[in-house]
């Protein structure tokens, strides 16, 4: 069952504003009608109170309604018109309005049916064609007794009310228009743009970013959150691609590293099987080379297992140690093992850290050995403490590396000459293992090298708290 398509938020806003405008117009019409009816009702009440019997007074039938040649009752200032309409429809004047703003007009009863009994309220035009009269007609013996009041004030009040309501409606409609524009442009249009941008992101375009209505608005906050999410997703995808690329490179390099010694072993085995190696000295040389390649494979496999172990976050046995003493022992051992290379230690004071002594010693050995093998004739190990950081620098005066190679020196199977020669016996995993050891201790390893100007490998680790000073 498919869901019914609903109205867009913009359509709902416009419909809502239209309904509000329609309600405002309807209320104005109702108020105008009720007010007009109320004013007419008040006029009817005045007519009822002004339609008393004439009593014994003799009416002065001085003129027919509208002829304008009679006297007014100056002793009775009033705007009430009194008259009589006979059975033939002729209107006779008893009293005319004698106020200052009164005119000579009178009610026009042409074509108006008078009551034969009781009384009735009528609205008739004026004889001069301008305005209307409200009339109370009471049935009499020879016609109808007429009491009338002009509706000028009622009409004027109604027109003023209509004008005021018109201005109010214009203001309301204008306000609704401004509100509609504000809501659509500052609220709905940014949402529409975000929907379009989200559709592009869903199609795989992760370079698109969402735009809200500005800082502080809900759409702006939503756009910021979604952009952060997209940035995180993009970074995760890029990291995954880099990881996959490193994995492919690692597999290719590992295969290459293992294939070469295996090829050597298989080659000597094939030669021996065919009898090509007959002399004792040739057999001894073949077995020696086979053993050397087997040991190379063993070291490579052990290094790979070590990296895998650090990738799985190994369990550490941290104790308080003196980093200066560890470096002193490594330099002393390297001096005894490496002839032709001059080692120097610059460690003026103890530097206390907390870590696994065996693994940290292995890390320093890897860096010092790497400098002795690939560097120059002089290797200096410096140990310093800077506030909460302990730092070990291994500096050599060798040929150095290019910036590109130095930036990737801690990656797996990366060699300083970017070749696959094994003259030095290295597998390209030494600095990778060292970086992994330093990382699990909460530190960092950096390589700073310039071609022709040597290499500096720096290990930075958290120092032990000052209040617990003392070396192990």
Structure token pair of residue 238:
């890029």
pLDDT tens readout for residues 125-158: 988 888 889 999 999 888 889 899 988 889 999 9
CB 40 within 8 A of CB 154: yes
Q: In the 8-state DSSP scheme, what is residue 58? A: P
Q: In the 8-state DSSP scheme, what is residue 444? A: E
Coil, strand or helix at 16: helix
Listed residue (313, 414, 430) closest to 363, CA to CA: 430
Count other Cβ atoms within 10 Å, centred on residue 432.
Answer: 24
DSSP H or E run through 345: strand 342-346
Q: Which residues contact 59 (CB under 8 A, 6 or more apart)?
A: 84, 92, 94
Distance (Å) of CA 222 to CA 208, 212, 228, 448: 15, 7, 10, 43
pLDDT tens readout for residues 23-76: 999 999 999 999 999 999 999 998 888 876 544 344 444 345 555 544 444 455
**Residue for token pair 């030494």:** 430
pLDDT in tens, the chain (472 residues): 455 567 777 788 888 888 998 999 999 999 999 999 999 999 999 888 887 654 434 444 434 555 554 444 445 567 788 888 888 888 888 877 777 666 777 888 888 888 888 899 999 998 888 888 999 999 988 888 989 998 888 999 999 999 999 999 999 989 888 888 887 777 777 777 777 777 888 887 777 777 766 666 676 777 778 888 888 888 888 888 877 876 777 677 667 667 767 887 888 788 877 877 777 787 788 888 888 878 877 877 776 777 666 666 667 788 899 999 999 999 998 888 888 889 999 989 999 999 888 888 888 988 898 888 887 788 999 999 887 899 999 999 888 888 888 777 777 666 655 443 444 445 667 788 888 888 888 899 999 888 888 899 999 999 888 654 444 4
């Amino acid at each position: 069952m498919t869901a019914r398509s609903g109205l867009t938020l913009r359509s709902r806003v416009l419909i809502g504003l239209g309904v509000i405008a329609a309600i405002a117009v309807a209320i104005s019409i109702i108020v105008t009608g009720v007010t007009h009816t109320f004013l007419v009702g008040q006029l009817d009440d005045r007519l009822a109170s002004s339609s008393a019997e004439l009593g014994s007074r003799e009416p002065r039938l001085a003129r027919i309604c509208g002829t304008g040649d009679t006297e007014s009752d100056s002793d009775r200032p009033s705007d009430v018109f009194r008259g009589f309409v006979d059975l033939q429809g002729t209107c006779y004047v008893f009293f005319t309005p004698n106020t200052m703003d009164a005119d000579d007009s009178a009610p026009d009863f042409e074509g108006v049916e008078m009551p034969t009994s009781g009384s009735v309220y009528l609205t008739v035009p004026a004889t001069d064609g301008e305005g209307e009269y409200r009339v109370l007609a009471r049935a009499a013996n020879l016609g109808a007794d007429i009491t009338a009041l002009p509706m000028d004030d009622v009409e004027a009040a109604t027109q003023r009310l209509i004008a005021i309501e018109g201005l109010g409606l214009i203001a309301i409609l204008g306000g609704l228009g401004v509100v509609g524009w504000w809501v659509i442009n500052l609220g709905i249009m940014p949402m529409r743009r975000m929907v379009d941008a989200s559709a592009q992101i869903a199609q795989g375009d992760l370079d698109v970013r969402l735009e809200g209505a500005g800082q502080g608005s809900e759409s702006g906050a939503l756009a910021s959150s979604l952009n952060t999410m997209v940035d995180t997703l993009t970074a995760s995808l890029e990291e995954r691609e880099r990881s996959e690329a490193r994995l492919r490179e690692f597999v290719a390099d590992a295969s290459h590293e293992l294939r070469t010694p295996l090829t050597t072993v298989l080659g000597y085995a094939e030669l021996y099987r065919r009898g090509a190696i007959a002399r004792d000295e040739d057999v001894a040389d073949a077995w020696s080379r086979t053993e050397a390649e087997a040991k190379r494979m063993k070291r490579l496999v052990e290094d790979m297992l070590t990296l895998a172990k650090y990738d799985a976050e190994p369990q550490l046995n941290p104790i308080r140690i003196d980093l200066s003493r560890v470096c002193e022992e490594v330099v002393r051992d390297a001096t005894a093992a490496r002839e032709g290379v001059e080692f120097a230690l610059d460690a003026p004071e103890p530097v206390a850290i907390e870590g696994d002594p065996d693994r940290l010693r292995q890390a320093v050995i890897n860096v010092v050995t790497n400098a002795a093998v690939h560097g120059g004739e002089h290797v200096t190990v410096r140990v310093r403490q800077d506030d909460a950081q302990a730092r070990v620098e291994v500096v050599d005066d060798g040929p150095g590396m290019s910036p590109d190679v130095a930036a990737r020196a801690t990656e797996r199977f990366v060699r300083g000459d970017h070749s696959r020669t094994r003259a030095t016996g290295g597998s390209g995993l030494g600095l990778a293992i060292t970086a992994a050891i330093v990382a699990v201790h909460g530190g960092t390893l950096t390589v700073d090298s310039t071609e022709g100007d040597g290499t500096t490998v720096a290990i930075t680790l958290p120092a032990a708290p000052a209040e617990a000073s003392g070396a192990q």
